[in-house]
Amino acid sequence: MINSLLGRRILIVEDEFLIAMMLEDMLLELGCVVAATAARPAQAIGLIDEVQIDAAILDVNLDGCDSFGIAAALSQRRVPFLFATGYGGSRVPPEFAAYQFIQKPYRLQELADALSRLSDGAAN
C-alpha cells in the first residue's frame, strides 16, 4: 500500500468485466476506494456528476467507442485521470497526448506509480 493512495476514490471505466474486476482488486490492494465502475461512455459521464471521485482510469477503447469524451469531461472538472490501453499511446489524440497511460495487462507497481503521479499532480 502506498500512503498517497490511501482512501483515494477511483472511477474505473472499463468494458471488459474481468479486467475491471482485476483492476478493482489491485486498487483495493493499494488502499484505494473504487468509487464506481462504468463500461460505457454515457454511464461514465453520468457517474462523474453523481459520485465523488479523486481520479479515474479510462480504457481507451470501450466496445468500439473511445473514452475521449469522458476525458474531456474529467478535464473540465479538474479530475485527474490516466488512460489504459492494450494498444500503446498511438490512439490518443493530440489534445490528450500529455496525459499518462498505462499498458494492459496491468502490473501492480506500474499502476501504483501512475496513480501516485496523479495524486502528486504531475500527470496532467
- pLDDT for 24-38, tens place per residue? 999 999 999 999 999
Judge contact between 57 and 34, C-beta under 8 A. Answer: no
Pairwise CA distance, residues 123 & 5, whole Å: 15
Residue-range domains of the chain with CATH: 3-119 (3.40.50.2300)
Burial of 16 (0-12, 13-18, 19+ CB in 10 A): middle
* pTM for the structure as a whole: 0.92
Paired residues of 102 in beta bridges? 84
pLDDT single digits (tens) 47-80: 999 999 999 999 999 988 999 999 999 999 999 9
Query: How far lies 107's CA from each of 12, 51, 104, 116, in Å?
Result: 16, 27, 8, 14
